[in-house]
């Protein structure tokens, strides 16, 4: 039988210092705990290995170009010049547009599920949101390419004609049906569908933790339901919701399949988002890795490193905001 | 009015509510709310139908429904401000807006499933879709030839391997976070959360660099399983940790009080108690890993032939089957139908896994199912 050994050394005679109590587990306990620590450290090891290998393999590209790798706009296939300067802004633009669509919708859905939905419907809605998160991204990509793209072109044409005072919505080519196909805007619409369930489920958890006493106090003071939500739930959940939104943006940044299947691949920055042509780092890697020479592969790994750094920054920032907020302190992470 | 201690008085007409009293409505939705919503919706439908293609120069089904929704919101605002005070109007407006969010989510899910089914029906209804591979199928073959059996087998094998790699490690890491903790706990938890942010293609790139280029593991189902397990690991760890934390601390303390070591406590008390929640966590991670495309693309190649061994040779999976059907051979409509059929199969498996997770993991830790309760009663009656 394994017994823990606890011993307390007697305190010195006139000393006011507390006793030192040492509790050492039996040998099997020590072995067990160290084995668990090893398993916990494995996550460190895996992440460190990913970083090390990516850095190692991408050294060539960074050594060749230095920091201009980040700003150069051309990705020449035959030569040795590579730069993500053309692809990185489009990655950010797609993620930004996807957030503009997904964050309001997701927050509205989260408020609906936690505040407005009848209790019987709540479990079903949570299951629906979880299912929406589990749908493979390639199914969304198929739907976006074959269902959404032909049908959304009419609206995009209208926007390009009537909202052209906003520079990104202008068209530089003559508008025709094919000038909108494969544009960053459509890719952003599909990516937003993938970000919505992530933001919704996390925000819903946070909103439902708002203290019951404060809610009842708002009602007691005569507020309507929306007044209660506005003054109690939203300020409570602000940190968690911000963190959730950033996690959604992180998902949108790393989305590969949907962007690749929809967008018409080019390698320079297209900031007329309604117009055909665009790219994202992840989609570029997916498209080029097969036919890449050794140098190209190194450049692709460098691009992957840049992407990983960006998503890591976003997620760490999100975790920081969540943990520092009032709602984050209530939930466990 | 009756007072305490008064003599009994029969319930008579003086106790019925007088004409001026209105009974208090306890439900949240009144008929006037429902009618206002319905009125605004149908009015908007009519107005949009009249204005849409005939008067305004707009076109397309998507634009129609978008316009319908915007006009609906405007009409609802107008109808509400006619009936109620501004405070109530604001409350009702936000209720309508957030409800549309909820309805939107349901519509999206139903649309995904329905659209895959409808577009893939031409391929699904043939039995050969489920039982044959794409060997000897040419670009113009009809839908009565060719199927996705090889992709399904590849997906299942890679999922099994990935589960084998990631689940023991993930649950052990979760036990570490829940049981041992200490100074390592916060860094490890931060790292696990950071790993959930890993774009799946980076995982594929990493395994490609490590396993294929450095270690020499061939491009095969095994490499893809390694990549998928990297994606599954943080999901398993996080979900399991949440489940393990819900196990009551009194159980653990009781086990220690009876003299069990930490190892025996975890293996005999905590893990069995949390078994249903852990199964849910594993099944949810499996659902996530099943649909991964990007890492498998990079590490397992693609093949139209059946390859039942994941240890060497290229292997197709359902997502890469869809990828190649649409992007390489997408100009042939039969391939597109097959791709949608495979998409529907993907969705079916994910929904089945989800239902299993919900059914298994519904109870709290330690809660016995009805069958287990009956079994216990039987044993108690026998002894």
Confidence of residue B6 (pLDDT cuts 50, 70, 90): very low
Asked whether residue B100 falls in the same domain as residue B169, the answer is no
Counting one residue from A and one from B, how many pairs have CB atoms under 8 Å apart?
278
B108 in A contact zone (CB under 8 Å): yes
Asked whether residue B102 falls in the same domain as residue B159, the answer is no
Residues of B within 8 A of A333 (CB-CB) are: 189, 193
Give strand pairing partners of A8: A21
Q: Kindly report the average pLDDT of chain B as a whole number.
A: 84
Residue B48 has pLDDT above 70, yes or no: yes
Phi and psi at residue A2, in whole multiples of 5°? -90, 125
Name the pTM for this structure.
0.84
Residue B16 has pLDDT above 90, yes or no: no
Give strand pairing partners of A5: A24
> What digits encode the pLDDT tens for the residues B310-368?
888 888 889 988 988 888 887 888 888 888 999 999 988 988 888 888 787 766 666 66
Give strand pairing partners of A265: A278
Per-residue pLDDT, A118 = 87
Residue B10 has pLDDT above 60, yes or no: no
Asked whether residue B63 falls in the same domain as residue B167, the answer is no
Per-residue pLDDT, A67 = 66
Q: What CA–CA distance (Å, rounded) separates B373 from B358?
A: 20
Write down which residue in B108, B139, B165 finishes a domain: B108
Q: Kindly report the average pLDDT of chain A as a whole number.
A: 83
B193 in A contact zone (CB under 8 Å): yes
Per-residue pLDDT, B59 = 63
> What digits encode the pLDDT tens for the residues B53-101?
665 655 667 778 888 899 999 999 999 999 889 998 999 999 999 999 8
Asked whether residue B69 falls in the same domain as residue B153, the answer is no
Confidence of residue A98 (pLDDT cuts 50, 70, 90): very high
Tokens 């760890």 correspond to B237
Is B379 contained in some domain? no
Confidence of residue A113 (pLDDT cuts 50, 70, 90): very high
Q: What CA–CA distance (Å, rounded) separates A71 from A80?
A: 15
Residue B248 has pLDDT above 60, yes or no: yes
Is B181 contained in some domain? yes
ipTM score over 0.85, yes or no = no
Q: Say what percent of chain A tops pLDDT 70.
A: 88
Write down which residue in B108, B137, B162 finishes a domain: B108
**A residues 12..71 contacting B (CB < 8 A):** 25-26, 28-29, 32-33, 35-37, 39-44, 46-47, 49-50, 53-54, 56-57
**B residues 360..379 contacting A (CB < 8 A):** none
From residue B51, how far is each of A137, B67, B217 by CA, in Å?
37, 10, 63
Write down which residue in B89, B108, B127 finishes a domain: B108
Asked whether residue B165 falls in the same domain as residue B55, the answer is no
> What digits encode the pLDDT tens for the residues A176-205?
777 788 888 899 999 999 999 989 988 998
Looking at per-residue pLDDT, the higher value among A157 and B225 belongs to B225
Per-residue pLDDT, B3 = 46
Is B216 contained in some domain? yes
Mention every residue, 6+ apart, whose C-beta is less than 8 A from residue B282: B163, B167, B171, B236, B240
Give strand pairing partners of A6: A23
Q: Where are the alpha helices (DSSP H) in chain B?
A: 31-51, 61-83, 86-124, 128-131, 149-175, 185-195, 200-207, 221-246, 249-257, 262-264, 271-273, 275-290, 294-300, 318-327, 333-360, 370-382
Asked whether residue B79 falls in the same domain as residue B163, the answer is no
Is B3 contained in some domain? no
Asked whether residue B57 falls in the same domain as residue B163, the answer is no
Is B117 contained in some domain? no
Looking at per-residue pLDDT, the higher value among A5 and B272 belongs to B272
> What digits encode the pLDDT tens for the residues A265-274?
887 777 787 8
Looking at per-residue pLDDT, the higher value among B140 and A307 belongs to A307
Q: What CA–CA distance (Å, rounded) separates B108 from B347?
A: 13
Asked whether residue B283 falls in the same domain as residue B334, the answer is yes
Nearest-Cα residue of chain B relative to residue A128: B106
Confidence of residue B309 (pLDDT cuts 50, 70, 90): confident
Any idea what the CATH number is for the domain that residue B249 is in? 1.10.3720.10
Domain count, chain B: 2
Contact between B102 and A152 using a beta-carbon 8 Å cutoff: no
> What digits encode the pLDDT tens for the residues A288-320?
877 777 777 888 888 888 888 888 888 888 878
Nearest-Cα residue of chain A relative to residue B200: A254
Could you give the domains of chain A?
5-9+19-65 (no CATH), 70-330 (1.10.3720.10)
Residue A2 has pLDDT above 80, yes or no: no
Asked whether residue B197 falls in the same domain as residue B102, the answer is no
Give strand pairing partners of A23: A6
Is B381 contained in some domain? no
Is B144 contained in some domain? no
B263 in A contact zone (CB under 8 Å): yes
Query: Ranked by mean pLDDT, which of A31-35, A104-108, A263-267 comes out on top?
Result: A104-108
Is B164 contained in some domain? yes
Contact between A53 and B209 using a beta-carbon 8 Å cutoff: yes
Q: Which domain covers residue B303, as residue numbers?
A: 149-367
């Amino acid at each position: 039988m394994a017994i823990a050994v606890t011993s307390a050394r007697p305190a010195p005679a006139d000393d006011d210092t507390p006793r030192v109590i040492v509790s050492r587990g039996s040998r099997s306990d020590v072995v067990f705990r160290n084995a668990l620590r090893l398993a916990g450290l494995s996550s460190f090891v895996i992440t460190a290995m990913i970083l090390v290998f990516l850095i190692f393999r991408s050294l060539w590209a960074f050594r060749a170009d230095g920091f201009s790798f980040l700003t150069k706009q051309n990705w020449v296939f035959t030569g040795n010049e590579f730069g993500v300067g053309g692809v990185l802004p489009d990655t950010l633009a797609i993620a930004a547009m996807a957030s503009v669509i997904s964050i309001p919708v997701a927050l509205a859905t989260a408020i609906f599920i936690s505040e407005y939905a009848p209790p019987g419907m709540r479990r079903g809605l949570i299951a629906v949101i979880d299912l929406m998160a589990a749908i493979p991204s390639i199914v969304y990509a198929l739907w976006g390419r074959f269902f959404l793209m032909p049908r959304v072109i009419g609206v995009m044409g209208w926007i390009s004609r009537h909202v052209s005072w906003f520079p990104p919505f202008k068209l530089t080519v003559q508008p025709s049906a094919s000038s909108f196909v494969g544009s960053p805007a459509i890719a952003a619409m599909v990516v937003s569908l993938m970000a919505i369930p992530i933001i919704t489920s996390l925000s819903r958890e946070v909103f439902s933790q708002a203290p019951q006493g404060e809610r009842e106090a708002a009602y007691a003071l005569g507020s309507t339901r929306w007044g209660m939500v506005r003054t109690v739930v939203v300020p409570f959940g602000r940190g968690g919701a911000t963190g959730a939104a950033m996690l959604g943006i992180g998902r949108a940044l790393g989305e590969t399949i949907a962007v690749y299947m929809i967008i018409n691949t080019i390698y320079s920055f297209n900031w007329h988002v309604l117009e055909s042509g665009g790219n994202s780092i992840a989609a570029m890697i997916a498209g080029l890795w097969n036919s890449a020479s050794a140098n190209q592969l190194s450049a692709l790994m460098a691009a992957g490193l840049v992407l990983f750094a960006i998503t890591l920054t976003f997620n760490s920032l999100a975790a920081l905001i969540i943990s520092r907020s009032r709602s984050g302190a209530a939930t466990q992470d | 009015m009756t007072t305490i201690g008064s003599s009994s008085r029969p319930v008579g007409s003086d106790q019925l509510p007088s004409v001026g009293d209105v009974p208090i409505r306890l439900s949240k939705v009144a008929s006037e709310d429902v009618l206002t919503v319905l009125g605004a919706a149908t009015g908007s439908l009519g107005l949009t139908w009249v204005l849409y293609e005939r008067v305004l120069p707009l076109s397309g089904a998507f634009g129609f429904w978008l316009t319908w929704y915007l006009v609906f919101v405007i009409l609802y605002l107008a109808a509400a401000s006619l009936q109620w005070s501004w405070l109530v109007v604001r409350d009702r407006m936000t209720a309508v807006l957030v409800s549309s969010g909820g309805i939107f989510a349901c519509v999206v899910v139903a649309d995904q499933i329905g659209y895959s089914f409808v577009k893939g029906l031409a391929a699904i209804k043939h039995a050969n879709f489920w039982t044959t591979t794409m060997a000897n199928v040419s670009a113009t073959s009809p839908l009565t030839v060719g199927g996705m059996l090889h992709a399904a087998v590849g997906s299942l094998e890679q999922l099994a391997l990935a589960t084998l790699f990631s689940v023991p490690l993930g649950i052990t890491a979760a036990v570490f976070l829940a049981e041992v903790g200490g100074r390592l706990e916060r860094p490890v938890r931060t790292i696990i959360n950071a790993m959930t942010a890993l774009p799946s293609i980076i995982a594929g790139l990493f395994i490609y660099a490590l396993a294929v280029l450095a270690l020499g593991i061939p491009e095969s189902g095994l490499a893809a399983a390694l990549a998928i397990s990297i994606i599954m690991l943080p999901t398993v760890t996080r979900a399991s940790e949440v489940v393990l934390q819900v196990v009551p601390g009194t159980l653990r303390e009781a086990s220690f009080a009876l003299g069990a070591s930490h190892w025996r406590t975890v293996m005999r008390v905590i893990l069995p108690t949390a078994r249903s929640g852990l199964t849910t966590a594993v099944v949810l991670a499996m659902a996530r890993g099943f649909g991964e495309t990007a890492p498998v693309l990079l590490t397992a190649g693609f093949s139209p032939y059946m390859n039942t061994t994941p240890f060497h040779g290229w292997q197709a999976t359902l997502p890469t089957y869809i990828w190649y059907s649409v992007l390489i051979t997408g100009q042939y409509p039969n391939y597109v139908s097959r791709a949608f059929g495979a998409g529907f199969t993907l969705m079916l498996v994910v929904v089945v896994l989800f239902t299993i997770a919900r059914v298994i993991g519904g109870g709290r830790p330690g809660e016995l199912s009805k069958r287990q309760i009956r079994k216990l009663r039987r044993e108690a009656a026998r002894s």
